[in-house]
Structure 1
């Protein structure tokens, strides 16, 4: 009994203990879940971080971008922005290519829209190239922030101590030449390694910079804009540059690269060194580049642009805008300039006393910046390379300066054939001669001996066909002169309506000579105008589709430099409508050929059909060649003009000359009675139908009789 009691107490105690343990465990789990929920909530409220990825290229490992990133991330933590900026920096040590290849890499990334990066650092010359892939910062940045950069040279690029203390620093190119000659004459035996002026006109982007700033330093006055390349100012400037090179330097010295310049800066073995704004050897003193006159100078703008991808989502765009606002703020730029001595594109900073203590503000204000502008149709790298190559043909070769400048000027022009050109004069004469013959041929139907050869068509259909011929000739006339949107539309209008008016009358003629028992066919035969009206209605509908999305002018850039403009359909509906018109007009010709094929064995029409088939094949071949010409890439604008005009001329005149002129003359010489043969053709067909109809009637009568 006692034993049983003790067992009962023990078991009861064990059960209570187990329940207590389970209860404690449940509380522990609940507490853990509660704490986890609080942590998650805190993370959501305060710990969510947006990662913004940026990419840049730098020639040097010690770059400014890393400083931007570090400073912003520190600023983000201090202000609880929950934004982390990371940088993928390409340098010569981890990227074997150059800035051109880096530019191609960026364009590939942007075109694929793979959102690999959010912020892009790139040279300002590529604004046109990358601009379409970036957001418009004006829609995101405050106006007062943008106004910081509204003056100075920033708008041009964003929218897309000398030991010889006894001599003054040259302010003009004449003074630089005189000073160099004087010192080199005295020093050449003491220091044979000494050079006068590095030039830095090498075959790299540095050479392009040197050429642009030199031209700008030779303008007529300080207020003069960058001169055009085909005027006397630029020609005389380059003649002066070549004379300077021969007096104080050499081809080899002017062609030396950046490395050579840096060596001279380090060893001090050059009187004058032209280079970017860097901390120089203490033996040198910075000065602005000389000019052709006192007070005139020129300095190429070099710098980076910043772009934010347009397809990264609103959350990342807003985070990127905060980064951009920070690193372009006046306070940040001021502190950055104080730390690094780097110049800023905010002009008002050079009125700040703190800045002027570490930076020569007066020197900065005296710099006359010039951007490297180029036609947006070109790739900048290709344009820059061609620019250098043409100028260097004169500077280092024997090409006359006018010839070199004219070759380069071709890059900036778009050419077309006009009546004043040799080709234009010849073609205009040929065209006028053809028109004169065509007008003269209109008297043939009025002559009694030839009148019967024109009865194959009704007089009104002859008028329609001839009207179509002259409409198509209008396509030839619009080929002269510069390309305009109106001319693009006129050429399509003249072509489509011209072919329809010219060919459809023959469909009407052939349909009358083909006698079928189909009721619809009989109605069509009785209403010839219905065919022409339907065709013209379709032409109108297709042409209105093109007018809804007008043509644009495409600029064709060629290797020869003879660029030209052409009509281009860029919107899908416009392209489709254009090719449907070409197909539709081809089908009109093919339909006429098919009807002529059906009647090919007609004894009374074979003479006419022989000429008609030849003219139709010529017309169809011309249309095919015109379409191919539109597709094929032709670089020479003269060749393109000649081929297009020849094909349009053949298209316009072949049917008229073959069927309207040559056919009657041939039949007249053969003494063929066209009027008699024509009546036979239509009567014989009618008799066949009538006999067939009578046979059916007789057959029915016989059957009923039986």
Structure 2
């Protein structure tokens, strides 16, 4: 509810009170209090636990208002009766409980030793977090990582404690049960928040793995100010916040309610120490619940306690339970050192080698004529596009980054345009219409290509204005991974427009190839091209589908993306640039004459000796490649005799005058 209000453009509230555990979630929507409050005001809170609760990305986004903490309530009547002291370690608590419960088993059947409070609510997370913290190596040691000997030993001792002095049912009892025991005095030890209990109990810090070490999870609320409410409202809100978090105000609150204050210097104040046990307050070793900010806290908390409970209340091995939870903190990706990464790396290496070696094919004398279907510079554009698209196959390796997200769009859109636009221009020149627009397009091939690339770049620049973000995919009982995610509607809209543009380029190329599939001169090119374009279009559709659905398995997702990236990027080059010329050479088809006939205009005259029919045609493609193959120059008015015995072609220079 709070997050929905904060995300709303029309802020309904200026000041927000919230549980501190959501500081990382709500903090981005709050002002940096360090820029508005006096330095001495911030300095009051800079010691102790408060910075861990209220600082996000080195900014003071909130200040604490109310703090709760867990303590151990000890039944002094029973401890004094059996001459026992308040336990300082978990071993002492176990031994004292076993001794007194054995003595009292016939006197009071309602008496319990220790409630535990390891239930299936957030309270269970609180209990687990502080218990693990109380098993750290020293007072100054941080919260231990979950998969290590410290945590393993701690949880083994917790299970031993449950089995020796309590039961599954007793440990799983919740808040109402605990409050009942605090009220009726029917417990030897009770763990709960700081409240006013039955007089038989004395408040103490929670035990630890050894004397001097303890742990108490913090609860409570913080206050923050919205960052999008205007300067006037911000300044007014800052004055209110400054007042209710001032030292004098917090002192009065502590004197009246005895609640804990997060201004450490107050516990050196004589007035406070007259009504509060300042020594006890200073001895509490607080630990905040801090989970990864990108993970929804409530979900993460549930997974945390559920994983541990599978060991505590079940039969799952402790290492397996901890590893299962530890996976929540990790995000996996494929690298070249993985088996899958090595396999595809080998495949990509072979493909890259074939692509590079294939560039020599047009220079082989017996194959050279099969590449005259395009201008030399058009081939360069198309091959450049192939290599750009082939770059898609490498962006999936390693951790997902914003740069890689943008590179995927760049390689896909710009690469496909470079690859197919020259072919569109080639087919366009073979279609002879008297329409002025069509003729203009035929003559301005380079401007058409540049125009499409310009549209691509404009859309791409709009995408860069609203960059992609990294979406965290959390997989239950699996491995988490990251994906690219559109941050805004503009990014998504421009991305969809790019996909539509690239699809149109494929469809237009396919349409031109289709209408020329039976053309006597270009049918072979058309049919090869149709096959490659079907593969490219299908691959593009599958890539788009993969981008919009979650498979929840990063290995399978990587494999599918790589397969379709490979098909998308190399199909046209392999079929049209490599297989087509080799097949035509194998069939011994003379394409040189057919290319010449396919592109007719006024520059050439074809004279059929049988019918004396004159056909006007223009062949810039042939004339350009005739220079590359050392044909006789048109400018020298030389005749070109082709291998076709049924036709004689003469080149003539047309006098512009």
Q: Same fold (TM over 0.5)?
A: yes
CA offsets 1:252-287 (integer angstroms, 9 cap, x no match): 111111112122222222221111111222222211
Tell me which residue corresponds to 1:208.
Answer: 125
Tell me which residue corresponds to 1:552.
Answer: 469
Residue 183 of structure 2 is aligned to residue 266 of structure 1:
yes
Tell me which residue corresponds to 1:405.
Answer: 322
Which of 225, 228, 236 does residue 142 from structure 2 map onto?
225
More moved, 143-152 vs 127-136: 127-136
Residue 51 of structure 2 is aligned to residue 155 of structure 1:
yes
Tell me which residue corresponds to 2:168.
Answer: 251
The SS at the match of 1:586 is: helix
- For 1:555-704, what aligned pairs fall within 5 Å after superposition? 555-560=472-477, 562-570=479-487, 574-682=491-599
CA offsets 1:487-519 (integer angstroms, 9 cap, x no match): 223323322332123212312322332334456
- For 1:265-304, what aligned pairs fall within 5 Å after superposition? 265-304=182-221
Tell me which residue corresponds to 2:40.
Answer: 144
- For 1:34-183, what aligned pairs fall within 5 Å after superposition? 104=1, 106-111=2-7, 119-159=15-55, 162-163=76-77, 164-165=79-80, 166-183=83-100
How many residue pairs align between the two structures?
Answer: 590
Alpha-carbon distance in structure 2 between the residues aligned to 1:264 and 1:567: 52
Residue 114 of structure 2 is aligned to residue 186 of structure 1:
no
Tell me which residue corresponds to 1:368.
Answer: 285
More moved, 122-131 vs 575-584: 575-584
- For 1:128-527, what aligned pairs fall within 5 Å after superposition? 128-159=24-55, 162-163=76-77, 164-165=79-80, 166-309=83-226, 320-442=237-359, 444-517=361-434, 525=442
Tell me which residue corresponds to 2:652.
Answer: none
Alpha-carbon distance in structure 2 between the residues aligned to 1:637 and 1:235: 29
Q: Which structure shows the bigger proportion of residues in strand conformation?
A: 2
The SS at the match of 1:306 is: strand
The SS at the match of 2:541 is: helix
The SS at the match of 1:373 is: coil
Tell me which residue corresponds to 1:60.
Answer: none
Tell me which residue corresponds to 2:644.
Answer: none
The SS at the match of 2:391 is: helix
Tell me which residue corresponds to 1:20.
Answer: none
The SS at the match of 1:363 is: helix
CA offsets 1:321-350 (integer angstroms, 9 cap, x no match): 454344333223222222222221111111
Alpha-carbon distance in structure 2 between the residues aligned to 1:433 and 1:524: 39
Tell me which residue corresponds to 1:56.
Answer: none
Alpha-carbon distance in structure 2 between the residues aligned to 1:574 and 1:311: 23
Q: 1:453 to 1:140 in 2, by over 3 A?
A: closer
Task: Note the residue ranges of structure 2 that are not aligned, 5 or more in a row.
Answer: 56-61, 63-74, 608-612, 618-657
The SS at the match of 1:151 is: coil
Q: Is the 8 A contact 2:605 2:616 kept in 1?
A: no
CA offsets 1:88-127 (integer angstroms, 9 cap, x no match): xxxxxxxxxxxxxxxx3x4445555776655443221122
TM-score w.r.t. the length of structure 1 is 0.76
TM-superposed deviation, 1:571: 5.1
Alpha-carbon distance in structure 2 between the residues aligned to 1:462 and 1:174: 79
CA offsets 1:631-663 (integer angstroms, 9 cap, x no match): 334433233322222221111111122222333
TM-superposed deviation, 1:231: 2.4
Alpha-carbon distance in structure 2 between the residues aligned to 1:463 and 1:318: 62
Alpha-carbon distance in structure 2 between the residues aligned to 1:603 and 1:410: 62
CA offsets 1:345-375 (integer angstroms, 9 cap, x no match): 1111111122112211111100010000112
Q: 1:531 to 1:326 in 2, by over 3 A?
A: closer
Alpha-carbon distance in structure 2 between the residues aligned to 1:286 and 1:217: 17
The SS at the match of 2:203 is: coil
Q: Which structure shows the bigger proportion of residues in helix conformation?
A: 1
Q: 1:308 to 1:462 in 2, by over 3 A?
A: closer
CA offsets 1:441-463 (integer angstroms, 9 cap, x no match): 45554555544433323444334
Alpha-carbon distance in structure 1 between the residues aligned to 2:430 and 2:588: 23
TM-superposed deviation, 1:666: 3.7
Alpha-carbon distance in structure 2 between the residues aligned to 1:270 and 1:232: 32
More moved, 158-167 vs 276-285: 158-167
TM-score w.r.t. the length of structure 2 is 0.82
TM-superposed deviation, 1:688: 9.3
TM-superposed deviation, 1:140: 4.3
Task: Note the residue ranges of structure 1 that are not aligned, 5 or more in a row.
Answer: 1-103, 695-706
TM-superposed deviation, 1:538: 4.3
The SS at the match of 1:274 is: strand
More moved, 185-194 vs 112-121: 112-121
Tell me which residue corresponds to 2:641.
Answer: none
Alpha-carbon distance in structure 2 between the residues aligned to 1:111 and 1:551: 18
More moved, 390-399 vs 231-240: 231-240
